[in-house]
Amino acid sequence: MMQELHRLKETPSQTAGPYVHIGLTPNYCDIRGVYDDDLGTTMVNDQTLGERITVRGRIFDGADTLVRDAIAEIWQPDSAGLYNSPSEMRGTADPNFTGWGRCPTNAENGYFQFETIKPGKVPFKDGRPMAPHITLWIVARGINIGLHTRIYFSDEAEANAIDPLLLRIEHRQRVETMVAQKDGSIYTLDIHLQGPKETVFLDI
Amino acid sequence: MSANSNKQPETGGFFARDRAWHAPALTPEYKTSILRSPQRALLSLDGTISEITGPVFGHSMIGELDNDLIHNYARPGESAIGERIIVHGRVLDERGQPVRGALLEFWQANAGGRYRHKKETYLAAIDPNFGGCGRAITDDDGRYAFRTVKPGPYPWPNGVNDWRPAHIHFSVFGHGFAQRLITQMYFEGDPMIWKCPIVNTIPDRKAIEQLIAPLDWGQTIPMDARAYKFDIVLRGRRSTLFENRLEGN
């Protein structure tokens, strides 16, 4: 016999189901008066530092059909590359920027959309800079465990080329599945859950 | 983090997720998963500061009735119809340590098994006093509690005659975005749990049992409400001892 580790097992994930809006964005599905606002709707205010951008995208299933009942959440650092989190030990993030947003994919056009700021660079574990990116998490009916990926930016080609995570992608043509295309101040990244254009999802 | 805590925030990476404990992405008996499941291998790597950090939600955002689904949508002086229950428990991590300041959001059908949602087509009646959502933030011991009515089971279009067992959906934020979790809680003794294609996406019976809340007779309030206890475990994280410090450079 030996000592025991006394580790617990993580609670298993289950699908968010078709009625996820009731719990996460009740005002969006016309349950009004319980919460003032849906959480994560507003990421910036007048004082938030940094370049204002719109980040949006759609989610397609394996038949190239729009997924209109998903919820997307994003998490990102401020314009100086600091996270508004107690575990951020490198400095204090912009108090006018939470860094977290939540948006359902639109029931008609399928878009999730965030009004946010361009994130600064943060370091990889070994100190190398990672290219500016936003963490994206997707849940929906039919998805048994939330899908993690990242949104990188098409106007950061130089930084993307040496990004430690993007460099880990073996099939190089798949790198672009994580790079949002810039059009003015709007960055668009479509997510493909499966098929030839399947997004690179992360076990991280 | 609660204001009165003197513990330092943790910065270690999270334990690798045991993917075999969770449902795989493709579970054909749950038909919607067929076209919504990634087929390529996930890109696996140790968490970076982008996943080790996560948003903070303060206790101040929680309204007085946010953890009372019997009353938070009800007209003044009225209440939702159904079996009154209290659901309570702790949010822990894989090391057994309490996760304080965790935001929990829950949603459920009413006592007849009907959701308040425009895509819902089940013929069971809407309860005018029941919205179906609530939320709570854990205290320094990782504890949470809310009051609600026991949700009803309901049929859903998958197989010809598939029914969901009574369940409550939970969304959980820990301290790092890597801990983000959505799951469902079931009720002790419900024979329908084992017939459900969504429950059975989870391969390991022991893992399914982790989602079944026992009746908690001790916490039951006499002449008022029965209690169910549901503990939630999030990914644990390493001590940063001997690791390269995040502040690096």
User: Judged by CB atoms within 8 Å, which residues 93-122 of A form the interface with B?
Assistant: 98-100, 122
- CATH code, A20-192: 2.60.130.10
Exactly one of B73, B115, B144, B228 is catalytic; name it: B115
A171-175, Cβ contacts within 8 angstroms, sequence gap of 24 or more: A174/A198, A174/A200, A174/B40, A175/A200
The token pair at B83 is 């079996």
Q: Please answer whether residues B4 and B228 qualify as being in contact, where contact means their C-beta atoms are separated by less than 8 angstroms.
A: no
For B10, other C-beta atoms within 10 Å of its C-beta total: 16
Catalytic status, residue B164: yes
Q: What is the pLDDT of residues A90-130, one digit of tens each?
A: 999 999 999 999 999 999 999 999 999 999 999 999 999 99
Q: What is the pLDDT of residues B139-167, one digit of tens each?
A: 999 999 999 999 999 999 999 999 999 99
pLDDT at B10: 87
The three-state secondary structure class of B62 is: coil
Q: Any chain A CB within 8 A of the CB of B49?
A: yes
Closest to B134 measured CA to CA, from B223, B229, B82, B63: B63
Question: How far apart, in whole angstroms, are the C-alpha atoms of residue B187 and residue B53?
Answer: 33
Catalytic status, residue B71: no
| ipTM associated with this complex | 0.97
For residue B202, give the chain A residue with the closest CA. Answer: A12
Average pLDDT over residues A165-186: 98
Q: Any chain B CB within 8 A of the CB of A203?
A: yes
DSSP state of B156: E
- CATH code, B51-233: 2.60.130.10
B222 Cα to chain A: minimum distance (Å):
28
Q: Give A186's contacts (C-beta < 8 A, 6+ positions apart).
A: A53, A54, A55, A56
Mutate to test the interface with A, among B5, B33, B35 (most CBs of A within 10 A): B35
Catalytic status, residue B175: no
| Matching residue, tokens 């209440």 | B79
Enumerate the H helices of chain A as residue ranges: 20-24, 157-161
DSSP state of A62: T
Q: Please answer whether residues B132 and B69 qualify as being in contact, where contact means their C-beta atoms are separated by less than 8 angstroms.
A: yes
pLDDT at B236: 97
Do B39 and A198 make contact, defined as CB atoms within 8 angstroms? yes
Exactly one of B169, B180, B226, B238 is catalytic; name it: B169
